[in-house]
Amino acid sequence: MVTFSLLIIFLLILFGIYKILKGIISFFFGSNSSSNGDKITFYDIMDDDGPSDLKYNDEVYISYRNKVQKAYESFKKSGYNIVWDSDNDGFIICEDILPSFGGSMYTVGVHCDDHNISKLNNPFYIVVTYSILFDKFYHDKYEEKAEYLNNCIKELKKSALFFNVHIDEDTNFAAYNCQLVASDYKNFDEEIEELGEAEFLKKMISEAKQFYRYGEDIYNAKLDEDEINSSN
């Protein structure tokens, strides 16, 4: 049952990433793209109408959503390239103004298993994602890497960590994602109370990026070992 539950969460998170990536890229390949040579800003790419209405009358959902919204408001006040993402009840932070191969972004959102297919105690959870954009020509390479690292995670029993890949069918862009279920963090409530919402999620964002780097080290070590074995 645990494995099936994690699979459901994985699929729901992946669908959220699809909508986020689609929104960013559509600016450049759709009717909204600028053709008059004006300088493009972050807010030309992503509309930010601020937090939307609550979607569920659920105590856990409202608590998670309020925590994410408070962090969003703090980050925005601090000058981050940030927009509210209504589809995922959260926000997107881009390190680069324009999407490009090798560029990165962070997303934080409240996700829901609406039908509780996974049979969790509560269907709501906060997900933090670190994403790298790449040319989808290399899709197989990244899929292989994600699969290998997810198998390593299973062995370590780190159920709150995922790697996955999403392809945008209309462009050459794809995203390689490292995702943390932040609400599964051991001292979730205590740390938020101590640090505040923004600092806690900043810590989770930093951890997602660090896990991405750990993943790179682990996978590169695997490739080095494969090369040594093949030469013997």
Which residues span the domain enclosing 193? 2-231
- Extract the tokens encoding 13: 């998170």
Question: Using one digit for the tens of pLDDT, what is the confidence trace for 62-94?
Answer: 999 999 999 999 999 999 989 898 888 999 998
Q: What is the pLDDT of residue 97?
A: 67
Which of 27-36, 65-74, 104-113, 170-179 comes out lowest in average pLDDT? Answer: 27-36
* Phi and psi angles of residue 163, each rounded to the nearest 5 degrees, phi first: -120, 140
Reported as a pLDDT band with limits 50, 70 and 90, residue 1 is: very low
pLDDT of residue 165: 93
**Separation CA 225–CA 227 (nearest Å):** 5
Summarize the confidence of residues 131-156 as an average pLDDT: 91
For the stretch 163-184, pLDDT in tens is 999 888 878 888 999 998 888 7
**Angle, alpha carbons 216-221-224 (nearest 5°):** 125
Q: What is the Cα gyration radius of the chain?
A: 18
pLDDT above 50 for 7: no
Return the pLDDT at 12: 45
- Is the confidence at residue 43, as pLDDT, over 60? no
Domain count, the chain: 1
Burial (0-12, 13-18, 19+ Cβ within 10 Å), 229: exposed
When mean pLDDT is compared across 71-75, 84-88, 96-100, 136-140, the lowest value belongs to 96-100
Phi, psi of 208 (to 5 degrees): -60, -45
Sign, Cα dihedral of 102, 82, 207, 177: negative
